[in-house]
Amino acid sequence: MTSLDHAAAHSQARKGRLLATPAGLYIVLFFIVPLLIILAYSFATRTATGRTELSGWNLESYDKLFTGLVMRTVWRSFWMAAVTTVMCLIVAYPFAYYLATRAAKVRNVLLVLVMIPFWTNGLIRIFAIRFMLGSDGPISQASESLGFGEFRILFTPTAVVLGMLYSFLTFMILPLYVAIERMDWKLVEAARDLYADGFTAFRKVTLPLTKSGIIAGSILVFVPSFGSYVVPEILGGAKTLLLGSYIARQFGQARNFPFGAALSVVLIVAMLIAVVINQRTEASEL
């Protein structure tokens, strides 16, 4: 490399760093620093009145993680997030497929339609769903007029899953749409030319080629579902305590900041491990 090339590369790198500075500062200030504060709090002491003292560092809060209550809450959160993810996938895949195979004009209109709900505050949309699922709501009324009697979904796990499905569906549709849209359709044609039926072609060609979209969408849906707070608070009942609400309660009613912080730390670490494992396996497959 000539010295001129070298200098050019150097200045390019410097420009890159300069451009990344605002984002970097933002991440340090509003992401890394808060995380470190959470980490520090998780080792702090809770006094006899519930105040948190940042001294006498200990592992007591981590000890409390392995109780039946925490395990049950984690398990419940896990399977509800898993059900939500699978349901999102089932609903989103055909739609994304349809979307990706339309003419550009139709596709743009449909994409706007997917985005429109985001123009309304999420909380208000969840309250609208609360009304829909209530014993006075349209679903219950329809069931009543058909002679099945009052039908309340509100305050059940089903209501929470439906609410999360609704809230996070877009996060599944968009990555799937991108993956399907940029797929090489000639490969599907080739499969059909080789006498694969529609289903086989889908299973052997389309599905593997859109796997990246499925995984990205699943992570985008699973992660917020697992720590979801607003939806279970509003649509859930006495039997749907989820991890997000449980953590929030430690910082409010229960006044146990160290324990809430320890729960958050473990949640973050678990998610990180899952994402890293996923990236590793993906990289090794390529």
Partner 1 sequence: MKYRFVAGLSAMVIVAAACGGGDSESSGGAAECEVGETDGDLAFYNWTDYMAPELLEQFEEEYGVKVEYTQYDSNEQMLAQVDAGGAIYDLVVPSDYMLDTMIQEELVMPLNFDAIPNAKNIASEWQSPPFDPENKYHVAYQWGTTGIGISIDALEAMGNPEPTWGFIFDPELSSQIPGGVSMLDDSNEAFAAALKYLGYSIDEVMTSGNEEAIREAGELLKQTTPNLVKFDSVTFGDDLVNGEVGAAHGWSGGFALSFLEADAYDRDVYVIPKEGGVRWVDTMAIPANAAHPCTAHTMINFLTDAENGGALTNYIYYASPNEAATPFILPEILEDPGIYPPPEVMAQLEFVPQAGELQLLMQDLFSEAKG
Side-chain half-sphere CA neighbours of 285 within 13 A: 10
* Binding track over 58-87 against partner 1, x by CB under 8 A: -----------x--xx--------------
Three-state DSSP class for residue 2: coil
- Using CB under 8 A as the binding rule, the residues of this chain from 224 to 263 that contact partner 1 are 236-239, 241, 246, 249, 251-256
Q: How far apart are alpha carbons 47 and 72 in whole angstroms? A: 27
Nearer to partner 1, 48 or 109 (CB): 48
Nearer to partner 1, 159 or 221 (CB): 159
Q: Which stretch binds partner 1 (CB under 8 A): 1-9, 25-33, 109-117, 185-193?
A: 25-33
User: Shortest distance, CB of residue 285 to partner 1, whole angstroms?
Assistant: 30
The yes or no reply on residue 136 touching partner 1 (CB under 8 A) is yes
The yes or no reply on residue 27 touching partner 1 (CB under 8 A) is no
List 41, 93, 166, 222, residue binding partner 1 (CB under 8 A)? 41
Contact predicate 133/159, CB 8 Å: yes
Structure tokens at 211: 């796997």
Radius of gyration (C-alpha) of the chain in whole angstroms:
24
The yes or no reply on residue 272 touching partner 1 (CB under 8 A) is no
The yes or no reply on residue 208 touching partner 1 (CB under 8 A) is no
Q: How many residues interact with partner 1 (rule CB under 8 A)?
A: 39
The yes or no reply on residue 23 touching partner 1 (CB under 8 A) is no
User: Shortest distance, CB of residue 15 to partner 1, whole angstroms?
Assistant: 22
Q: How far apart are alpha carbons 33 and 8 in whole angstroms? A: 35
Q: Is 147 left (phi over 0), alpha (psi -120 to 50) or beta?
A: left
Q: How far apart are alpha carbons 102 and 100 in whole angstroms? A: 6
The yes or no reply on residue 49 touching partner 1 (CB under 8 A) is yes
Q: How far apart are alpha carbons 191 and 209 in whole angstroms? A: 13
User: Shortest distance, CB of residue 175 to partner 1, whole angstroms?
Assistant: 31
Three-state DSSP class for residue 157: helix
Q: How far apart are alpha carbons 85 and 172 in whole angstroms? A: 8
User: Shortest distance, CB of residue 66 to partner 1, whole angstroms?
Assistant: 14
The yes or no reply on residue 48 touching partner 1 (CB under 8 A) is yes
The yes or no reply on residue 139 touching partner 1 (CB under 8 A) is no
Q: Supply the DSSP symbol for 58.
A: -
Residue 59: C-alpha distances to residues 46, 62, 162, 259 (Å): 12, 5, 38, 10
Q: Which residues bind partner 1 (CB under 8 A)?
A: 28, 32-33, 36-37, 39-41, 46, 48-55, 69, 72-73, 134-136, 152, 154-155, 236-239, 241, 246, 249, 251-256
